[in-house]
Amino acid sequence: MCGRTCLTLDPEQVICACKYPRKTIKTDPDSEDKDTIKDEEGPSMETPEWRAEFNLGRNYQASYNIAPTDITPVIVSAGHFSVVEDQKCDRVIMPMMWGMIPFWHKGDYRRHGLTTNNCRLEHLMDSKLYRGPFKRGQRCVVICEGFYEWQTAGPAKKPSERDAYLVFVPQEGDAKIYEQPKDVKLLRMAGLFDVWADESGDKMYSYSIITFQSSKIMAWMHYRMPAILETEQQMNDWLDFKRVSDAEALATLRPATKLQWHRVSKLVNNSRNKSEECNKPIELVAKPAKPAMNKTMMAWLNVRKKREDQTKAEHSDPSDDEEQEKEAGCKRRNSPGGSSFDSPAKKYKFEDFKSQKAVEVKFVEK
């Protein structure tokens, strides 16, 4: 599955990172109805257009910790907005909300009550929510520097105890994804988008990420993984809804084979944490210092300790035994017809007073 992503680039950087080879459309000699799309030879690159919709006043904000309902940029075919033939393969970058809004929902778009950040490939054609957008060719590519995944495979653990990882595509040379390399390679995930309108007619674009069963490369971490597009040919086939049929588009979705990951801090567990330490390897994240104890609490503990020490000292004072022994001796001398040297049976030993004292103390404590 995919429940959290990372994209720290501003719009200009996103556009630069999404450049793609210029395409040529040629007629397939073996077919009268089909055209083939090929990359032009040479370094010529196309720059996608950034298309900002109103989206109920919400805008994309770069973040180290993106969660569902956030606005992020996705790539779609320009054919959704133009009927010009030579723009069939052009790409447009549009900010959309993560988590498709059901077309039948009325009221606050955030309160439809469904979890729609992921779309299971196995149930796509049976889904009331996703079948329509897919049949209309509303295919998109969700871009990010990487997605976060929590290790759920293996022995069961509480959610708060699971290890979190950032999964990304290999970068050029020794470039580190968490250092924002200049020529960053973005991770591209297949998705579906839809358009929802409120009672006033204002539109909100939203999307879901397609997932399927994990391959061997990811199965140790989680049993689900997003459909990642690794090649430009996969990108073309998924986006070109006018030339590539539904069945052909689905055939392009296969498990990725070139992925990397590193373990990250559990800071990412809380979607409110937007620190740059979220996407760094855990060994580079400074351990949080232990919070200092409240001064009032410290003063109270000190007073309590002094009282306990004083009580112990009073209970263990040997002078009490001596005073009780003297008092008992005086009583024997002053008793009628007796003296301090009466029969030994009537004498009191030091141990007896001590034991009597212990009994008296216990009685008082109860």
CA distance 32 to 30: 7
- In the numeric block, the tokens 């001590």 are attached to 354
DSSP, residue by residue, 94-108: EEEEESPPPTT--S-
DSSP, residue by residue, 153-174: SSS---GGGS-EEEEEPPPSTT
Closest C-alpha among 44, 42, 206 to residue 112: 206
Closest C-alpha among 224, 141, 221 to residue 187: 141
Q: Is residue 89 flagged as an active site residue?
A: no
Residue 302 host element (H or E): helix 295-315
> Which residues, other chains included, contact 342 with Cβ-Cβ below 8 Å and sequence gap of 6+?
332
Choose, from 2, 89, 119, 278, the residue flagged as catalytic: 2
Neighbour-count burial of 266, counting CB atoms closer than 10 A to its CB (0-12 exposed, 13-18 middle, 19+ buried): middle
Choose, from 6, 18, 119, 149, the residue flagged as catalytic: 149
> Which residues, other chains included, contact 195 with Cβ-Cβ below 8 Å and sequence gap of 6+?
203, 204, 205
Q: Interior CA angle at 118 toward 165 and 54, to 5°?
A: 105
Residue 13, φ and ψ in degrees, nearest 5: -70, -35
Q: In residues, how long is the chain?
A: 366
Q: Is residue 140 flagged as an active site residue?
A: no
CA distance 326 to 330: 6
As annotated, the active-site residues are 2, 149
